[in-house]
Amino acid sequence: MEPVLDARRHAMLEAMGIDVWVRRDAVDAGDGAIAPVVGPVPRGMPASGGDAVAELAALAQEVAACTACPLAETRTQTVFGVGAATARCLVIGEAPGAEEDRRGEPFVGRAGQLLNAMLAAIGLARESVYIANILKCRPPNNRDPQPAEVAACSGFLRRQIALVAPRVILAVGRIAAQNLLGVETPIGRMRGQDYVYAGTDIPVVVTYHPAYLLRSPGEKRKAWTDLQRAKRLLDAAGDA
The CATH number assigned to the domain holding 141 equals 3.40.470.10
Domain encompassing residue 92: 73-237
Is residue 225, in this structure, part of any structural domain at all? yes
56 inside domain = no
Report if residue 38 sits inside a domain: no
Q: Is residue 37 part of a domain?
A: no
Provide the pLDDT for residue 51. Answer: 84
In a domain, 169, yes or no: yes
Q: Is 128 inside a domain boundary?
A: yes
In a domain, 36, yes or no: no
pLDDT tens series, the chain, 240 aa: 333 334 444 444 444 344 443 332 333 333 333 222 222 233 223 333 348 899 999 999 999 999 999 999 999 999 999 999 999 999 999 999 999 999 999 999 999 999 999 999 999 999 999 999 999 999 999 999 999 999 999 999 999 999 999 999 999 999 999 999 999 999 999 999 999 999 999 999 999 999 999 999 999 999 999 999 999 999 999 865
d(CA 213, CA 209): 6
* The pLDDT value given to residue 21: 36
Establish if 40 belongs to a structural domain: no
pTM of the model: 0.80
SS (H, E, C) the chain: CCCCECHHHHHHHHHCCCCCCECCCCCCCCCCCECECCCCCCCCCCCCCCCHHHHHHHHHHHHHCCCCCHHHHCCCCCCCCEECCCCCEEEEECCCCHHHHHHCCCCCHHHHHHHHHHHHHCCCCHHHCEEEECCCCCCHHHCCCCHHHHHHHHHHHHHHHHHHCCCEEEEECHHHHHHHHCCCCCHHHHCCCCEECCCCCCEEEEECCHHHHHHCHHHHHHHHHHHHHHHHHHHHHCCC
- Please state the domain count of the chain: 1
